[in-house]
Amino acid sequence: MIQRNPDVFSTQPGHTTLIQHHIVTCPGARVTIKPYHIPEAKREEITTEVRKMLELGVIEESHSQWSSPIVLVPKLDGSLRFCNDFRKLNKVSQFDAYPIPRIDELVDQLGKAR
């Protein structure tokens, strides 16, 4: 499917301008966490990945008072996945309460649809 639709899929990460996401936090809350210790051997990989994401427009420079540390997670193929640890941010975030739909009710709504 990916090979049949190359205009829709890309091997490069990107971003969309079709939707914006806003994180609502508790009043007066701020998350500022120092970076985790990164072994010297991994620092070049981080620099390369950050440079690549900046060039692709996936990330942009920030001078915010908010900060969350990065984490390098090993993939099955041996490469590293560049992640952010947003656990502290999640603790001060306010989430919308949407109930998870029940599967049996969804199936009933389908009726005889295929």
What gap in Å lies between CA 65 and CA 28, rounded to an integer? 13
Give 70-92 pLDDT, tens digit per residue. 999 999 998 889 899 999 999 99
| Residue at 114: amino acid letter | R
- Specify whether the CB–CB gap between 83 and 70 falls below 8 A: yes
- Top mean-pLDDT range of 1-5, 65-69, 101-105: 65-69
Name which of 96, 46, 93, 97 is nearest 66 in CA terms.
93
Give 1-37 pLDDT, tens digit per residue. 888 888 888 777 777 788 888 999 999 999 999 999 9
- 38's CB contacts (< 8 A; 6+ apart) are 46, 70, 72
Q: Which pLDDT does position 111 carry in this prediction?
A: 79
Q: Show the tokens assigned to 74.
A: 């090993």
Q: Which pLDDT does position 46 carry in this prediction?
A: 92
For the chain, count helices (H), then strands (E).
3, 2
Q: Which pLDDT does position 61 carry in this prediction?
A: 93
